[in-house]
Amino acid sequence: MEENINLRIWLSEIIKEKIDHTSLKTLEDFQSNFININELTDSLRNEVAELEKLFWKEPFDGGKINVEKKMEQLRNDINSAERQFGKLNLEFNSYLSKIICPGEK
């Protein structure tokens, strides 16, 4: 979450300093993706909270299998979110390097 905030700060700095019409669409796409990551993070937090409720309720209802299924789904969702964020982070850093040092690769 904190890393996503740092990326958005970088994005705002780019917009202030180096905005041109050709890069505006790219910057808007990054902004949308950062917002999507925030929403995904919020959704994962809600899933964790729901799972935590099940830990207290389900053992008394014989719902061990239900908790295990939800834990597995949450684990998969977190792994997917990490991959998405890693990809976005890599793409944004690559973009930053191109606009900060345009002659280098």
Q: What is the pLDDT of residues 19-73, one digit of tens each?
A: 666 778 888 898 899 999 999 999 999 999 988 887 777 555 565 667 788 889 9
Determine the pLDDT at residue 21: 66
Does pTM top 0.95 for this prediction?
no
Domain-embedded: residue 17: no
- Count of CB atoms within 10 A of residue 72's CB? 10
User: What is the distance in angstroms between the CA of the first residue and the CA of the last residue of the chain?
Assistant: 29
Distance CA 33, CA 63 (A): 37
Distance CA 86, CA 41 (A): 13
Q: What is the DSSP letter of 101?
A: S
The answer to whether 13 and 98 are in contact (CB under 8 A) is: no
Q: How many domains does the chain have?
A: 1
Q: What is the pLDDT of residues 60-75, one digit of tens each?
A: 556 566 778 888 999 9
Domain-embedded: residue 56: yes
Q: 83 versus 4: which is more confidently predicted?
A: 83
Determine the pLDDT at residue 5: 79
- In which domain, by residue range, is 48 found? 2-11+32-100
Domain-embedded: residue 16: no
Q: 47 versus 17: which is more confidently predicted?
A: 47
